[in-house]
Structure 1
Amino acid sequence: MSDYASVVERTRKAFASVARLEAEIARAPDDVGLQVNLAAMNKLARKSQQQLFALSETHHVEVCNYRLVPERAESYALPFVSQSLLSFQYLFTQIYDSFKNGPKPYATYGQEAFNESLMEFAYTYSGSLGVVLLAQSDKDFFSGNLDKSIEALFEVVDIDSRDTVRDIAKTLGNAVIKRLHDWSQANIRGGFAADVRFNRSDGRHLGEMIERRRLENIVSIIQATSDEKTAERQVTGMLVGGDIQSGSFHFVVPNGDDFRGKLAKEFSKDTEMTLGKSYRARIRETTKLTYATEKLERSVHLVALFDVPTIAGPNGPASPVF
């Protein structure tokens, strides 16, 4: 066993002993012997943890202290605890993947990015539910491959408006916003605040307590935010369906796109709509992505129709110009 693995194991056992002694003292609060043993074991656990942090710097391991704090009942239901930890890993990996492979529109990432950003369970500690997670990093002379992801994580959880949501979606991808929403929602359902702190292998400490009210605000902002894009273009094709009264249309481009939708408000009611006739159409397409659900809505509106110029054939009637 390597020196580092040995220290991890020693720290794990020390904190397990602390938890066991605390449970025994809860049953026998006046037992002086237990109190002395607990004080000694706490000292050993802290010393082992400091050794672990020191070795993490030389072995390029990022240490994450992840603590869940119930804000009402002292309850740690397994589905909520596991979902909190799992969605945190997904959020961190999605951020890492955006730096490695580019921003993603949907919540997915590469297997290599997952492997390189994977956090491993080290040990738990007392004080609410505290978990220490370890992530191996690769470092060059200047920085580690996880440095930017750790920094970005705390920028992401600082969102406080729809504009910041859109800014993060633009730089890191819609997928990161979806992962942040899911992680925040998991902690809300469990009734947790989340205390997340990284001891980076370069000696920097980053982290903060994210209270449940703030998590609720994150979810609320993301659910209220969407990305809407509108574009107009002109195409030539055939009107195969359309009705002024119902306000609908169906327009087909030969060997091309098929448009179905509604007539735009500015579409002239005086326009003659002859089914089967060729027209040049001005089409407006609007796409709306809701970040919280990744639901993409598309709407199509016919803005105007124009007659298509025709060319007379040498031996037949005129045909439209496409």
Structure 2
Amino acid sequence: MSRLAELQRDLQSAAVAVAHAERTLATHPNVPSVLATLRTIQNHRASLEEQFFAAADEFGLDACGYRIELEGHTASIAGLTAVLGTFQKIFTTVYDALENGPKKTAKNSAETIEATTLGFAYTFPGSVGVMMTLANDRMLFEAKLDNAMGKTFDLIRANDSEELQYLSEVVGIPAVRLVHQWAEENVKAGFGADIVWRRDDVVKREVRVQAPEIAQKAAIIRAMRAHETAVVVGELLDVDILEHTFRMKVSDRIIQGTFDGAITSKKPAQLPKTYQATLQIMQKVVADESGHEQIDYFLVGLESPPGPPVFLTDLSDHDS
């Protein structure tokens, strides 16, 4: 990896040289030699970057460039570290969901974190941004990591409730919550984002979102209610035929909700009794200011359990 480290150092030095040449040009805008010097340094840096991408590919590394877009103001360290850190969490959570199924919380295993950790390579000259690398085994993990990064870019690009709802079913509510956190951090800092996922000279995915688009995304997710269908086994405790409400013990918690045709005079239910229940679950993606998570349950149907009470879907707050 010595060649890669050498190129990283050269790129950092080139970035400093570009910045110095740009300041000199600003002071002496009408001196042709100053402009020529800047162009020479920029071309040298571009050549170094091409060499870096090629060397990274040889070592089994893909590259992810994350550039902050600013509108007439400087970037704070707090804002920069916040959005980069949350971007990493989104990618890790999406990868985990695609590998192991969507979860109720954004808790990831040490193996998942190790597989998805982005490493720092170098900064960009003339703008705020970083180039990061990720080990992407061409035989074992390539399709998995590419798919996860693709879905991460889809989440960042999506700006309507229907697409975000679809993505929440694929990658889970925790990933969408992290996208909301990322959006709010960008709104607070006044950032846009230009992110590129590449291997050598091939750009595999790219997404660019400006500050107003990110603010719109934050508002959409804040108002969003995700829905899913779950099959559980639990003890039906109470039914109100007039109000069309029910209470059921599932695992270690009591859930309550509504129903329509699941329980009628022609389809009576016994109390208390263990059933296999099909539920439609509606959940506010972003909790209110008190931290309360609003979850609504609609009972679609009841059946006798296929065997001993085994929970097919865990509705508790713990990961399966």
TM-score between the two structures when normalised by the length of structure 1: 0.72
| 2:284 match | 290
Query: Residues 72-98 of structure 1, C-alpha deviation per residue, up to 9 Å, x if partnerless?
Result: x32212211111111111111112222
> Partner residue of 1:82?
81
| Change in 2 beyond 3 A, CA 1:233/1:134 | closer
Which residue is 2:205 aligned to?
206
Determine if contact 2:10/2:48 at 8 Å carries over to the other structure: yes
Task: Please give the per-residue CA displacement for 1:128-182, whole angstroms capped at 9, x wherever unaligned.
Answer: 3132111122121894542112222222223233222221111111111111111
* Bigger Rg, structure 1 or 2: 1
Contact in 2 for aligned 1:61/1:136 (Cα 8 Å): yes
| 1:128 partnered with 2:122 | no
Is the 1:188–1:212 contact (alpha carbons within 8 Å) kept by the matching residues of 2? Answer: yes
CA distance in 2, matches of 1:31, 1:60: 44
Instruction: Report if the CA contact (8 A) 1:69-1:129 is conserved.
Output: yes
Q: What SS does the corresponding residue of 1:130 show, helix, strand or coil?
A: strand
| Residue 280 in structure 1 maps to residue 277 in structure 2 | no
In structure 1, the gaps of 5 or more residues are 240-246, 266-278, 302-322
Aligned to 2:51: 51
CA distance in 2, matches of 1:183, 1:149: 17
Distance 2:19 2:236 in 1: 74
- 2:307 corresponds to which residue? none
Contact residue 287 and residue 297 of structure 1 kept, 8 A:
no
RMSD (Å), alpha carbons: 4.0
C-alpha separation between the residues in 2 aligned to 1:260 and 1:152? 32
Residues 5-40 of structure 1 deviation map (CA, whole Å, 9 limit, x = unaligned): 222221222122212222333344455554343222
Name 2:187's counterpart in structure 1: 188
Task: Look up the SS of the partner of 2:134 in the other structure.
Answer: strand
Compare 76-85 and 105-114 and name the one that shifted more. 105-114
Asked if 1 retains the 8 angstrom alpha-carbon contact of 2:156 and 2:207, the reply is no
Going from structure 1 to structure 2, the CA distance change for 1:228 and 1:46 (only over 3 Å counts) comes to: closer
Query: Any residues of structure 2 matched to 1:60-75 within 5 Å, and which?
Result: 60-71=60-71, 73-75=72-74
* CA distance 1:7–1:260, change in 2 (3 Å): closer
Deviation at 1:229, TM superposition (A): 6.7
Q: Kindly indicate whether residue 174 of structure 2 is the aligned counterpart of residue 175 of structure 1.
A: yes
Query: Cα 1:196–1:259, aligned 2, differ >3 Å: closer, same or farther?
Result: closer
Q: Read off the aligned partner of 1:65 and give its amino acid letter.
A: G
Cross-structure match for 1:304: none
Question: 1:289-308 to 2 correspondence within 5 Å?
Answer: 289-293=283-287, 295-297=292-294
Read off the aligned partner of 1:4 and give its amino acid letter: L
Q: Contact 1:96 / 1:113 at 8 angstroms: preserved in 2?
A: yes
Equivalent position of 1:139 in the other structure: 138
The 1:101–1:30 alpha-carbon spacing in structure 2 relative to 1, beyond 3 Å, is: same
AA partner of residue 218 (structure 2): V
> What corresponds to 1:18 in structure 2?
18
Alpha-carbon distance change, 250 to 114 in structure 1, aligned in 2, over 3 angstroms: closer
Structure 2 Cα separation of the partners of residues 149 and 80 of structure 1: 25
Query: What is the letter of the counterpart of residue 188 of structure 1?
Result: V
Question: Closer, same or farther in 2 for the Cα pair 1:43/1:222, shift >3 Å?
Answer: same
Give the CA deviation at 1:51: 0.6
Deviations 1:169-221 (A, max 9, x none): 11111111111111111111111111111112593432032112221222122
Q: CA deviation at 1:43?
A: 1.6
- Give the aligned residue type for 1:40: T
Question: What runs of 5+ residues in structure 2 fail to find an aligned partner?
Answer: 261-269, 299-320
Between the aligned residues of both structures, percent identity stands at 21
* 1:109 positional shift: 1.6
Q: Spell out the pairing of 1:146-165 with structure 2 (5 A cutoff).
A: 146-165=145-164
Other structure's SS at 1:157 match: helix
1:116 shift after superposition: 1.5
Q: Distance in 1 between matches of 2:159 and 2:106?
A: 22
- For the residues of structure 1 that align with 2:35 and 2:218, how far apart are their CA atoms? 44
| 1:280 positional shift | 3.4
**Counterpart Cα distance in 1 of 2:52 and 2:212:** 33
Query: What residue in structure 1 maps to residue 115 of structure 2?
Result: 116
Equivalent residue of 2:271, what SS? strand
> Using the alignment, how far apart are the partners of 1:229 and 1:144 within structure 2?
27
Question: Which one-letter code corresponds to 1:49 in the other structure?
Answer: E
Q: Retained in 2: the 8 A contact 1:19–1:125?
A: no
Tell me which residue corresponds to 1:4.
4
- Aligned pair count reads 281
